[in-house]
Structure 1
Amino acid sequence: MQIWPAIDLLGGKCVRLQQGDYNRETVYGDDPAEMAKRWVDEGADCLHLVDLDGAKDGSLKNRDAISAIVAAVDIPCEVGGGIRDEKTIQELLDLGLTRLVIGTKALREPDWFAAMCEKFPEKLVVGIDAKEGMVATDGWLEVSTTSAIDLAKTYEHLPVAAIIYTDIATDGMLAGPNVQAMQAMKQAVKLPVVASGGVTSVEDVKNLTAAGLDGAIVGRSLYEGRITVRAAVEAAGGVR
């Protein structure tokens, strides 16, 4: 299982939100590129970036910070948040991003997303954020009536790179991931599934690995020293 350390960007700074709430923000650093290099030094072999301003506003906002991170490290980086048109997709891929996470637009305009998957095969990741199994959109500000698993199944025929499945209730709460929900998603679809939300300990990583997940995003627990990148990678079956 791959470990994806998270770097969440808000106003050019490295932050974490609790349960996606923009009013519950903790700033962990003013230099995201330095944070990226730190995670690489600790054994990260891929990074998950989030443009929180973009997720809220619907357009790319932290381009400079994203560009600086990609230039600073020599490992695959993905980014999500506010990617809602072909121009932005091309711009980010040109910056050197390995793959891009698309959530709200994929849900609202499935025909557009299918066309983008065909144009950029294996470069797009479906970001599915859920609350009690139902899909949430617009930086988690809205909860839809669509089942997360039903939505995931609609993408199985497309050349998508993976599904990132986030459980809002556990994200940023340091309470452990919803392993049961993550495993149910993995068993329901034929695509790689990356778990996101609540990964706090080595035991959490082991549980997700045992559940068959293809990857796990680790955020707040890294910044607060509850788990190290090296320990997470080792628990996921990697060697550093």
Structure 2
Amino acid sequence: MSFTVYPAIDVRAGRVVRLRQGDYAEETRYADDPLALAQRYADAGARWLHLVDLDAAKAGGYTLQPLLQSICQITGLQVQTGGGVRCREDVQQLLSAGAQRVVVGSLAVREPALVLDWLSAFGGDALTIALDTRQDDSGEWRLPVHGWTQTA
């Protein structure tokens, strides 16, 4: 059995960060700029990168298109990216900017028929459905949506 490891870069306000369980108040910041980190991953042998626009995940309106294009052109990495993907045009713009796959999370939970339509339009290889889970205080598993700010 084989599998592929996808290094991930989460970006908020132009910086590489990591949120604790999706909590925007619990952010760890890293000194690396996203493009330099992507290049290091490529130099280490990565073929894929998972790129997340945390600002867009919370507010909508993907903001990393120039970074996405640079990563694809400069590093040669194949990129799956998401955060704030809300409409068909978002998917098309990200694919046109060089993404191999567009990641859809919240919308797949809230509007599965719409995402099924996108799967038909763009093909299964162009979309990744990301269903993160989090256990609530009562022990129930929930699907965080809207940049992990709500649950479903």
Q: How does 1:1-240 map to 2 (within 5 A)?
A: 1-29=3-31, 31-121=33-123, 122-132=125-135, 133-144=141-152
Residues in 1 aligned to 2:29 and 2:69: alpha-carbon distance in whole angstroms? 20
Determine if contact 1:77/1:97 at 8 Å carries over to the other structure.
Answer: yes
SS at structure 2 position matched to 1:43: coil
- State the one-letter code of the partner of 2:34: P
Moved more, 24-33 or 105-114: 24-33
Question: How far apart are 1:44 and its partner, in Å?
Answer: 1.0
Total equivalences in the alignment: 144
Give TM-score scaled by structure 2 length. Answer: 0.89
Q: Deviations over 1:185-212 (max 9, x none)?
A: xxxxxxxxxxxxxxxxxxxxxxxxxxxx
Unpaired stretches in structure 2, ≥5 consecutive residues: 136-140
Residues in 1 aligned to 2:77 and 2:52: alpha-carbon distance in whole angstroms? 16
Determine if contact 2:68/2:98 at 8 Å carries over to the other structure.
Answer: no
Unpaired stretches in structure 1, ≥5 consecutive residues: 145-240
SS at structure 1 position matched to 2:73: helix
Residues in 1 aligned to 2:32 and 2:63: alpha-carbon distance in whole angstroms? 16
SS at structure 1 position matched to 2:35: helix
Determine if contact 2:71/2:77 at 8 Å carries over to the other structure.
Answer: no
| Regions of 4+ moved over 6 Å | none
- Percent pairwise identity: 38
